[in-house]
């Protein structure tokens, strides 16, 4: 089975060299996969309209639909970015096959002023299905940016499946998520549920 084209989207501050997103990009490329790991403008002071335009530019640059499976993996703030994209104007050319939302902040998380523009995305299951054939949410227990109750509410509002990683916190390098074989297996084959590293 050929590997999908994978678009990997970072959150606030980008992804450092020990973050699983960089590991994932390297693993996919090593096995011959097509990978796009863009750096959004001003990662430490994001602006929603700028990031949305950049996201859509990278989606438009993906291989044509039907030529290869198109997969998006969005961590943290990029998860909220994806929801804003999904709720925006529909463009069939930008629709992808699978999306994994990893540890997004709660949609009403108010403790970080830098992400205020990204809060309160429209949580519309129809819009989510227009943007991607399937969407999955994975969160860590003990994430300071999203409680399990908030994660369950988000999954229910979007009518998507949810995986909870016990002790996973924000599922980032600080939580020990460098190499993470489960996310690689999900990208390669859609294997679920997502499990700890």
List the domain boundaries for the chain: 9-189
Contact between residue 134 and residue 98 where contact means Cβ atoms under 8 Å apart = yes
For the whole model, what pTM was predicted?
A: 0.97
Q: What is the pLDDT along the chain (197 residues), one digit of tens a residue?
A: 589 999 999 999 999 899 999 999 999 999 999 999 999 999 999 999 999 999 999 999 999 988 999 999 999 999 999 999 999 999 999 999 999 999 999 999 999 999 999 999 999 999 999 999 999 999 999 999 999 999 999 999 999 999 999 999 999 999 999 999 999 999 999 999 999 98
What is the 3-state secondary structure of 2-44?
CCCEEEEECCCCCCCCCCHHHHHHHHHHHCCCEEECCCCCCCC
Decide: 115 and 12 in contact? Cβ < 8 Å: yes
For residue 98, list its beta bridge partners: 71, 134
Cα→Cα distances 106→30, 147, 176, Å: 34, 8, 21
Q: CA 16 to CA 172: how far, in whole Å?
A: 10
Determine the Cα–Cα distance for residues 98 and 71; give it in Å rounded to an integer.
5
**What is the rounded distance in angstroms from the CA atom of residue 139 to the CA atom of residue 163?**
6
Name 136's bridge partners. Answer: 100, 161
Fold observed for domain 9-189 = Rossmann fold (3.40.50)
For residue 152, cis peptide bond before it (omega within 30 degrees of 0): no
């Amino acid at each position: 089975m050929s590997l999908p084209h994978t678009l990997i989207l970072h959150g606030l501050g980008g992804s450092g060299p020990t973050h699983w997103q960089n590991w994932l990009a390297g693993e996919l490329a090593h096995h011959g996969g097509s990978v796009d790991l863009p750096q959004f403008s001003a990662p430490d002071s994001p602006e929603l309209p700028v990031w949305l335009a950049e996201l859509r530019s990278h989606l438009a640059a993906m291989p044509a639909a039907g030529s290869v499976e198109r997969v998006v993996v969005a961590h943290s703030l990029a998860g909220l970015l994806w929801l804003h994209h999904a709720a925006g104007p529909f463009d069939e050319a930008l629709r992808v096959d699978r999306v994994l939302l990893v540890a997004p902040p709660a949609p009403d998380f108010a403790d970080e002023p830098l992400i205020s523009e990204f809060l309160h995305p429209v949580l519309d299951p129809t819009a989510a299905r227009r943007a991607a054939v399937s969407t999955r949410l994975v969160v860590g227990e003990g994430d300071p940016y999203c409680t399990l109750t908030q994660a369950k509410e988000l999954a229910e509002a979007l009518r998507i499946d949810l995986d909870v990683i016990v002790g996973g916190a924000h599922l980032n390098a600080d939580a020990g998520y460098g190499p993470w074989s489960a996310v690689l297996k999900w990208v390669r084959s859609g294997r679920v549920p997502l499990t700890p590293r």
